[in-house]
Structure 1
Amino acid sequence: MPGQPGGPDELWVDEMAGPVLRPFAVAGGRTRQAYSDLDLIAIVLTAEVPMPAPGSLGTEDELILELCVRPRSVADLAADLALPVGVMRVLVGDLLRRGLVTVRRPATSRSGRPDPRLLKEVIDGLRAL
Protein backbone atom coordinates (compact mmCIF):
# COMPACT_ATOMS: atom_id res chain seq x y z
CA MET A 1 0.00 0.00 0.00
CA PRO A 2 1.49 3.41 -0.95
CA GLY A 3 2.49 5.59 1.97
CA GLN A 4 3.17 2.65 4.27
CA PRO A 5 6.72 1.77 5.31
CA GLY A 6 7.82 -1.16 3.24
CA GLY A 7 5.45 -0.40 0.37
CA PRO A 8 6.99 -0.86 -3.08
CA ASP A 9 6.95 2.82 -4.02
CA GLU A 10 7.68 4.25 -0.59
CA LEU A 11 11.15 5.59 0.24
CA TRP A 12 10.55 5.43 3.98
CA VAL A 13 14.18 4.76 4.74
CA ASP A 14 15.15 8.33 3.83
CA GLU A 15 12.48 9.91 6.01
CA MET A 16 12.55 7.47 8.89
CA ALA A 17 16.26 6.65 9.10
CA GLY A 18 17.80 9.65 7.37
CA PRO A 19 18.50 11.70 10.50
CA VAL A 20 20.01 8.64 12.17
CA LEU A 21 21.91 7.34 9.16
CA ARG A 22 23.34 10.68 8.04
CA PRO A 23 25.43 11.41 11.16
CA PHE A 24 26.73 7.86 11.10
CA ALA A 25 27.74 8.33 7.45
CA VAL A 26 29.24 11.79 8.08
CA ALA A 27 31.54 10.32 10.73
CA GLY A 28 32.55 7.47 8.44
CA GLY A 29 30.82 4.95 10.68
CA ARG A 30 32.97 5.93 13.66
CA THR A 31 31.46 6.67 17.03
CA ARG A 32 34.60 7.43 19.03
CA GLN A 33 36.86 10.40 18.59
CA ALA A 34 40.62 10.18 18.70
CA TYR A 35 40.85 12.72 21.52
CA SER A 36 38.96 11.67 24.63
CA ASP A 37 39.34 15.08 26.29
CA LEU A 38 37.50 16.94 23.51
CA ASP A 39 34.54 18.09 25.56
CA LEU A 40 31.50 20.26 24.87
CA ILE A 41 33.10 23.51 25.92
CA ALA A 42 36.46 22.99 24.21
CA ILE A 43 37.12 25.94 21.91
CA VAL A 44 37.96 25.19 18.28
CA LEU A 45 39.79 27.63 16.00
CA THR A 46 40.86 27.18 12.39
CA ALA A 47 44.65 26.84 12.29
CA GLU A 48 46.73 29.32 10.32
CA VAL A 49 48.07 26.75 7.89
CA PRO A 50 47.60 26.27 4.16
CA MET A 51 44.25 24.65 3.51
CA PRO A 52 44.10 21.29 1.73
CA ALA A 53 43.22 21.11 -1.95
CA PRO A 54 39.57 21.80 -2.78
CA GLY A 55 37.53 18.63 -2.73
CA SER A 56 39.83 16.87 -0.26
CA LEU A 57 37.56 17.76 2.67
CA GLY A 58 33.99 16.76 3.34
CA THR A 59 31.22 19.34 3.33
CA GLU A 60 30.99 19.31 7.12
CA ASP A 61 34.77 19.70 7.45
CA GLU A 62 34.66 22.77 5.22
CA LEU A 63 31.80 24.24 7.24
CA ILE A 64 33.65 23.65 10.51
CA LEU A 65 36.74 25.41 9.15
CA GLU A 66 34.61 28.35 7.97
CA LEU A 67 32.81 28.67 11.29
CA CYS A 68 36.00 28.34 13.34
CA VAL A 69 37.68 31.35 11.81
CA ARG A 70 36.22 32.78 15.01
CA PRO A 71 36.54 30.60 18.12
CA ARG A 72 33.59 28.21 18.56
CA SER A 73 32.82 25.58 21.16
CA VAL A 74 32.24 21.97 20.17
CA ALA A 75 28.65 22.33 21.42
CA ASP A 76 28.08 25.41 19.24
CA LEU A 77 29.46 23.63 16.19
CA ALA A 78 27.18 20.64 16.79
CA ALA A 79 24.18 22.95 17.05
CA ASP A 80 25.16 24.98 13.98
CA LEU A 81 25.57 21.88 11.81
CA ALA A 82 22.61 20.04 13.39
CA LEU A 83 24.80 17.06 14.23
CA PRO A 84 25.07 15.05 17.44
CA VAL A 85 27.92 16.09 19.71
CA GLY A 86 29.53 12.67 19.33
CA VAL A 87 29.72 13.10 15.57
CA MET A 88 31.11 16.63 15.98
CA ARG A 89 33.82 15.30 18.29
CA VAL A 90 34.85 12.77 15.65
CA LEU A 91 34.97 15.45 12.93
CA VAL A 92 36.86 17.98 15.06
CA GLY A 93 39.26 15.24 16.16
CA ASP A 94 39.97 14.42 12.51
CA LEU A 95 40.67 18.08 11.71
CA LEU A 96 42.86 18.38 14.81
CA ARG A 97 44.86 15.31 13.80
CA ARG A 98 45.41 16.87 10.35
CA GLY A 99 46.58 20.14 11.94
CA LEU A 100 43.72 22.14 10.41
CA VAL A 101 42.29 23.33 13.73
CA THR A 102 43.59 24.11 17.18
CA VAL A 103 41.67 23.28 20.32
CA ARG A 104 41.80 25.09 23.63
CA ARG A 105 40.57 23.10 26.56
CA PRO A 106 38.52 24.94 29.16
CA ALA A 107 40.26 26.33 32.20
CA THR A 108 40.09 24.03 35.19
CA SER A 109 40.24 24.62 38.91
CA ARG A 110 42.69 22.89 41.24
CA SER A 111 40.25 20.00 41.55
CA GLY A 112 40.49 19.36 37.81
CA ARG A 113 36.92 20.47 37.24
CA PRO A 114 35.97 23.27 34.83
CA ASP A 115 36.24 26.79 36.22
CA PRO A 116 32.87 27.78 37.78
CA ARG A 117 32.99 31.16 35.99
CA LEU A 118 33.27 29.39 32.65
CA LEU A 119 30.36 27.10 33.51
CA LYS A 120 28.26 30.14 34.41
CA GLU A 121 29.07 31.71 31.03
CA VAL A 122 28.04 28.50 29.25
CA ILE A 123 24.77 28.35 31.19
CA ASP A 124 24.08 32.01 30.44
CA GLY A 125 24.75 31.36 26.76
CA LEU A 126 22.40 28.39 26.71
CA ARG A 127 19.67 30.42 28.39
CA ALA A 128 20.09 33.13 25.76
CA LEU A 129 19.19 30.60 23.05
Structure 2
Amino acid sequence: MVDAGPLVRPFALRAGSPAAAPAGRPRRGGVPDVLAAVRTADLGDADREPAPEIVAILRACTAPRRVADLAADLGMPLNLLRHLTGELIAEGRLLPEHPCGPPRPERGTDILTRVLEGLRSL
Protein backbone atom coordinates (compact mmCIF):
# COMPACT_ATOMS: atom_id res chain seq x y z
CA MET A 1 0.00 0.00 0.00
CA VAL A 2 1.34 3.41 -0.97
CA ASP A 3 1.04 6.26 1.51
CA ALA A 4 -1.09 9.00 -0.08
CA GLY A 5 0.45 11.60 2.22
CA PRO A 6 -0.87 15.13 1.79
CA LEU A 7 -2.97 14.19 -1.26
CA VAL A 8 -5.84 12.89 0.87
CA ARG A 9 -8.09 15.72 2.01
CA PRO A 10 -9.14 15.65 5.68
CA PHE A 11 -12.85 15.18 4.89
CA ALA A 12 -12.01 12.02 2.94
CA LEU A 13 -10.75 10.22 6.04
CA ARG A 14 -14.24 9.20 7.18
CA ALA A 15 -16.19 9.48 3.90
CA GLY A 16 -18.33 12.26 5.34
CA SER A 17 -20.75 10.36 7.58
CA PRO A 18 -20.43 8.44 10.83
CA ALA A 19 -21.13 4.74 11.00
CA ALA A 20 -24.09 3.41 12.93
CA ALA A 21 -23.69 3.26 16.69
CA PRO A 22 -22.67 -0.16 17.97
CA ALA A 23 -25.35 -2.20 19.72
CA GLY A 24 -25.96 -1.13 23.28
CA ARG A 25 -24.48 2.33 22.86
CA PRO A 26 -26.66 5.42 22.50
CA ARG A 27 -26.01 7.62 19.50
CA ARG A 28 -24.85 11.09 20.41
CA GLY A 29 -24.17 13.95 18.10
CA GLY A 30 -22.47 17.28 17.71
CA VAL A 31 -18.96 18.55 17.26
CA PRO A 32 -17.24 19.03 20.61
CA ASP A 33 -15.87 22.36 21.76
CA VAL A 34 -12.08 22.72 21.72
CA LEU A 35 -12.03 22.69 25.54
CA ALA A 36 -14.29 19.64 25.83
CA ALA A 37 -12.74 16.50 27.25
CA VAL A 38 -13.29 13.05 25.76
CA ARG A 39 -12.25 9.52 26.67
CA THR A 40 -12.32 6.20 24.86
CA ALA A 41 -15.38 4.05 25.55
CA ASP A 42 -13.69 0.76 24.65
CA LEU A 43 -10.02 0.52 23.68
CA GLY A 44 -10.73 -2.79 21.92
CA ASP A 45 -12.38 -0.73 19.16
CA ALA A 46 -8.94 0.53 18.13
CA ASP A 47 -7.84 -2.94 17.05
CA ARG A 48 -10.55 -3.15 14.38
CA GLU A 49 -10.06 0.35 12.98
CA PRO A 50 -8.24 0.65 9.61
CA ALA A 51 -7.66 4.45 9.81
CA PRO A 52 -4.45 5.25 11.72
CA GLU A 53 -5.79 8.68 12.73
CA ILE A 54 -8.74 7.10 14.50
CA VAL A 55 -6.50 4.52 16.19
CA ALA A 56 -4.26 7.35 17.44
CA ILE A 57 -7.27 9.25 18.85
CA LEU A 58 -8.72 6.19 20.57
CA ARG A 59 -5.37 5.19 22.11
CA ALA A 60 -4.58 8.73 23.25
CA CYS A 61 -7.91 9.06 25.06
CA THR A 62 -7.66 6.24 27.59
CA ALA A 63 -7.83 9.02 30.18
CA PRO A 64 -9.95 12.16 29.61
CA ARG A 65 -8.22 14.55 27.20
CA ARG A 66 -9.21 17.99 25.97
CA VAL A 67 -9.79 18.22 22.22
CA ALA A 68 -7.33 21.12 21.82
CA ASP A 69 -4.57 19.24 23.68
CA LEU A 70 -5.27 16.12 21.66
CA ALA A 71 -4.91 18.02 18.37
CA ALA A 72 -1.59 19.49 19.48
CA ASP A 73 -0.23 16.16 20.73
CA LEU A 74 -1.28 14.22 17.62
CA GLY A 75 -0.23 16.96 15.19
CA MET A 76 -3.66 17.11 13.54
CA PRO A 77 -5.48 20.26 12.46
CA LEU A 78 -7.91 21.30 15.20
CA ASN A 79 -10.97 21.42 12.93
CA LEU A 80 -10.23 17.94 11.60
CA LEU A 81 -9.83 16.56 15.12
CA ARG A 82 -13.09 18.23 16.23
CA HIS A 83 -14.86 16.60 13.27
CA LEU A 84 -13.36 13.17 13.94
CA THR A 85 -14.05 13.28 17.68
CA GLY A 86 -17.62 14.41 16.97
CA GLU A 87 -18.13 11.40 14.73
CA LEU A 88 -16.54 9.07 17.27
CA ILE A 89 -18.85 10.46 19.97
CA ALA A 90 -21.84 9.95 17.64
CA GLU A 91 -20.72 6.34 17.09
CA GLY A 92 -20.35 5.81 20.84
CA ARG A 93 -16.63 5.10 20.59
CA LEU A 94 -15.65 8.24 22.53
CA LEU A 95 -17.46 9.53 25.58
CA PRO A 96 -17.68 13.21 26.52
CA GLU A 97 -16.19 13.84 29.94
CA HIS A 98 -16.41 16.59 32.51
CA PRO A 99 -12.80 17.09 33.64
CA CYS A 100 -13.86 18.76 36.89
CA GLY A 101 -16.58 16.24 37.69
CA PRO A 102 -20.22 16.30 36.65
CA PRO A 103 -21.78 19.76 36.43
CA ARG A 104 -23.81 20.79 39.44
CA PRO A 105 -27.42 21.47 38.60
CA GLU A 106 -28.28 25.02 39.63
CA ARG A 107 -31.38 26.98 38.93
CA GLY A 108 -31.00 30.36 37.27
CA THR A 109 -32.44 32.15 40.30
CA ASP A 110 -29.81 30.57 42.57
CA ILE A 111 -27.04 31.95 40.40
CA LEU A 112 -28.63 35.40 40.20
CA THR A 113 -29.13 35.44 43.97
CA ARG A 114 -25.47 34.59 44.54
CA VAL A 115 -24.38 37.31 42.07
CA LEU A 116 -26.62 39.86 43.80
CA GLU A 117 -25.24 38.90 47.23
CA GLY A 118 -21.70 39.23 45.89
CA LEU A 119 -22.44 42.68 44.50
CA ARG A 120 -23.99 43.79 47.78
CA SER A 121 -20.92 42.66 49.69
CA LEU A 122 -18.77 45.05 47.65
TM-score above 0.5: yes
| Distance in 2 between residues matched to 1:77 and 1:39, nearest whole Å | 12
After superposing on structure 2, the runs of 4+ consecutive aligned residues of structure 1 that deviate more than 6 Å are none
CA RMSD of aligned residues (A): 3.4
**Residue from 22, 26, 34 that aligns with 2:13:** 26
SS at match of 2:70: helix
C-alpha separation in 1, matches of 2:84 and 2:46: 18
Q: CA deviation at 1:40?
A: 0.6
Partner of 1:42: 36
Output the CA distance in 1 between the equivalents of 2:36 and 2:65. Answer: 8
- Output one character per residue of 1:99-122: Cα deviation in whole Å (capped at 9) or x when no partner: 1111136788x8xxxxxxxxxxxx
Unaligned 5+ residue runs, structure 2?
Answer: 18-28, 107-122
Superposed CA deviations along residues 73-109 of structure 1, whole A, max 9, x for unmatched, are: 100111122211111011111211221111136788x
5+ residue gaps, structure 1: 1-13, 111-129
The Cα of 1:68 is off from its aligned counterpart by 0.5
Query: In structure 2, how many angstroms separate the alpha carbons of the residues matched to 1:95 and 1:88?
Result: 10
* Map 1:48-127 → 2, pairs under 5 A: 49=42, 51-52=44-45, 54-104=47-97
Helix, strand or coil for the counterpart of 1:78? helix
Q: Please state how far the C-alpha of 1:51 moved relative to its aligned partner.
A: 2.6
Return the letter of the residue paired with 1:73: R
Whole-Å separation in 1 of the counterparts to 2:71 and 2:52: 14
Identity %: 36
Query: Match of 1:51, SS?
Result: helix
Alignment coverage as a number of residue pairs:
90
Question: C-alpha distance in 2, partners of 1:26/1:80?
Answer: 19
Task: Considering Cα pairs closer than 8 Å and 6+ residues apart, tell me whether 1 or 2 has the greater RCO.
Answer: 2
